[in-house]
Amino acid sequence: MSSASNTNSTTASITPIQAAKTSIPKVSLEQWSMFITVVEEGSFQAAADKLLKSQSSISYAMQKMQQGLGVNVFEHKGRRAELTDAGQLMLLRAKDLIHAASAAEKVAADFSVGWEPQIGLVLNDMFPQHIMHSALKAFGEQCPQTRLEIYVEVLSGVDDKLRNGEAQIAINHMIPSGMVGEPIIETEFVRVAHPDHPLHHMGRAIHHSDMKLHRQIVIRDSGSYRRENRGFLGSDQRWTVPNMREAFELLRLGFGSGVLARSIAQPAFEAGELKELDIDGSGRMSSNMNLIFADKANTGPAALLLAKLLKEAAKNNQSGRM
């Protein structure tokens, strides 16, 4: 806005204002809000109508605001009051201030109903990212003030985050002793190698003993004690990597054979970059992924909401595949 009509003689002749004695302007949020409304509505009278106040009260509030700021925000030209350069700047700052105040009130409202200021979520690195992203989008919209710490771990590393209190909820295959969990999605595993890998060209069924003669890409347990490494069959030729996505890249480039979640390997199957190994005597490999609570009885509403959204996203994913 560049101008606002003014029909009140009191505000039409604002006296020069001395600089404020303190560095903090003595202007209320209500005055800032009135200022924004005057600018947006185009006149003091229109602002008064919008705010259900008298024009004289709006004019008086603006005069007191300018006195508190120590600077004129309006320059009067006849019956019109135009924003000064300072007024233009103050308008931007006023909008930021009102927005910040509203955000602070939202934080207070969230905490008043029990939202936790921060929660932790730890995921097994095989959990499908698109399911996580769907749940996080909904969580961010419904609980924007709660800080979320997300961890991605391998095998027993998930347990560590739950036991040391860094995470309140988790998704993993195994439910630690003393904790509560329920299955939300099934994960299928496949042994894979690049289509040019020698294991695909043996001219006979592949045995586990054959796998041990070639380099294996193994995923390191991220837990404190590293109780096991995923996909290890005893080969001396072993490359150990920190997560499944790094294993995927090495396997896709033909550096060995290994185990992946089918959901991660599928795009490479379709692109001809990986091929499933048909090992004699090996049935289908799968495992449930569980939604786990470190202490469900004392889990706060924000963590419960996130758990609910993860379950819903996993269920929708399963339904979409049927």
Which CATH number belongs to the domain containing residue 13 in this structure? 1.10.10.10
Banded model confidence at residue 25, pLDDT cuts 50, 70, 90: low
Tell me how crowded residue 122 is: count the other CB atoms within 10 A of its CB. Answer: 24
Residues 130 and 148 occupy one common structural domain: yes
Picking from 111, 136, 152, the residue at the C-terminal end of a domain is 111
Q: Is the pTM of this model over 0.85?
A: no
Picking from 111, 134, 155, the residue at the C-terminal end of a domain is 111
Which CATH number belongs to the domain containing residue 217 in this structure? 3.40.190.290
Count of the separate structural domains present in the chain? 3
pLDDT tens-digit map of 101-121: 887 776 676 667 678 889 999
Which CATH number belongs to the domain containing residue 142 in this structure? 3.40.190.10
Residues 14 and 97 occupy one common structural domain: yes
pLDDT tens-digit map of 178-200: 899 999 999 999 999 999 999 99
Residues 196 and 251 occupy one common structural domain: yes
* pLDDT beyond 50 at 19: no
* Domain boundaries, position 60: 3-111
Residues 153 and 203 occupy one common structural domain: no
Q: Contact at 8 Å (CB) between 159 and 123?
A: no
Picking from 111, 128, 158, the residue at the C-terminal end of a domain is 111
